[in-house]
Amino acid sequence: MTYSKILPTRTTLRCTLILAPLLAGLTACGGDARSLSDQPYDALEHLSFGGAAEGAEVNPDAPLKISARAAGARITDVVATDAAGRRLDGELAADGRSWRSSALLTAGAKYTVRVSTENGDGEPGRGEHSFRTGSSEADRVDVTFGPEPGTYGVAQPITAELSEEVTGARERALVEAALQVSSEPEVKGAWHWVDDKELHYRPRDYWPSDTRISVSSQLEGLAIADGLRGGGADPVELRTGERVEAVADIQAHTMTVYQDGEAVRTVPITTGKEGFRTRNGKKVVLGREPNVRMTGTSIGIPAGSAESYDLDVQWATRLTWSGEYVHGAPWSAASHGSANVSHGCTGMSTENAQWFFDLIKPGDIVEHVNGEGEDMAPFGNGFGDWNLSWEEWLEGSALHQQQGDDHAQPTAGRLRPSV
């Protein structure tokens, strides 16, 4: 935000208003009279912009300097904004004769500068000036948004991968504010820093069905830190389909599937046995594979051991990068609905697995409850984002930490399956 010290206007009483029946509204000031409706004078010819000529390209790594050239003239206010509407911080000299930016200009941007002045007689002046900034030699922070354009379930988080690390609280807040998410209908959401190079965005609650989501960046050219500026990012357009959720009760050995809040089918299942317990918690569907070869060696089980396996699995819906799936498991049919015998996956009949496969999509939610396994991690093994409360989610927002209130706005290695 621009900081400008407003200097008091000097007012000199030059005349006495004469109210006469035939001369109402006239002044007895002779040629020095000024109507209260007079417009401010054009101050541009009385100002110097330190080499930033009108329409010129200037160095974004150097400060913007504005000074008053006319004798007795003073600057009273400066508002400098780039094309994205971001104001440039600056400081006004105590005598009002100059103003200097205290933050770096955005590279490759058009700036508009509005300057208010007053002359030696206390008359107000206004001037508007524009220029463009050139490129910078600073390192660039490019952004890759995910997922790819398409239709997803209502639990799908948005991801932003940065090409460079951003660590400081102020710097993170700058980056976060420049990553824009809008939706129709509008929902309340926020970014969460997973680590120094990755952010996730989610709403307070699941996205509504049939929501259109636009993701873009205003980071290009923005000064983040010394030697570090914002880079490019391709925008992403997404939408959500109907709300599909599955709740797998590990103790009851059943999974109930809901469409838009209505239970449509409950199927018998088996989940992870002792030593291979299925994780508790909410897991966002990562993808679907009609056929997957699953081997024990891929999750660290020695070949030839009692737990070793090598299976061709059908209708597999992936839940974690470490290898949890919902899939057909005809070899364990006798245990469906009665015992947990898998190596971590959720198994069911081939028929039910195909029905679930055809219904589900990336971004839908599968929640495992009443289990003895560890909790699903929020990050690092798929999308466990919804296992954080909204309050916990906001703790990972640099903007929330900076502002101290609810600022929320509307808006990987090789895959290793287990069975």
160-190: per-residue pLDDT in tens? 999 999 999 999 999 999 999 999 999 999 9
Burial zone of 291 (CB within 10 Å; 0-12 exposed, 13-18 middle, 19+ buried): exposed
Residues 368, 311: Cα–Cα separation, whole Å: 24
Res. 10: pLDDT tops 50:
no
Give me the percent of the chain exceeding a pLDDT of 90. 78
Confidence of residue 57 (pLDDT cuts 50, 70, 90): confident
CATH code, 139-241+395-402: 2.60.40.3710
Per-residue model confidence (pLDDT) at position 255: 98
CA distance 127 to 393: 45
Fold adopted by 244-373 = L,D-transpeptidase catalytic domain-like (2.40.440)
Q: In what side-by-side order are the strands of the sheet with 310-318?
A: 287-295, 310-318, 325-328, 346-348
Chain centre distance of CA 49? 35
| Res. 6: pLDDT tops 50 | no
Q: Read off the tokens for 38.
A: 């007079």
Decide if 42-132 and 139-241+395-402 have a common fold: yes
Q: Which is more confident, 393 or 404? A: 393
Does pLDDT of 14 surpass 90? no
Q: What is the pLDDT of residues 108-162, one digit of tens each?
A: 999 999 999 999 899 999 999 999 999 999 999 999 999 999 999 999 999 999 9
- What pLDDT was estimated at residue 247? 98
Q: For 311-338, how does the pLDDT look when each residue is reduced to its tens digit (9 = 90+)?
A: 999 999 999 999 999 999 999 999 999 9
Tokens matching residue 359: 């219904």
Query: Which residues are marked as active site?
Result: 327, 345
What does the pLDDT read at residue 17? 34
Average pLDDT, the chain: 88
Query: What are the DSSP E strand ranges found in 336-404?
Result: 346-348, 365-369
Task: Label residue 328 exposed, middle or buried (CB < 10 Å: 0-12, 13-18, 19+).
Answer: buried
User: Domain spans of the chain?
Assistant: 42-132, 139-241+395-402, 244-373
Task: List C-alpha distances in Å: 233 to 85, 128, 146.
Answer: 19, 31, 11
Predicted local confidence at residue 409, as pLDDT: 57
Contacts of 361 (CB under 8 A, 6+ apart): 151, 152, 153, 241, 244, 285, 288
* Domain boundaries 42-132, corresponding CATH code: 2.60.40.3780
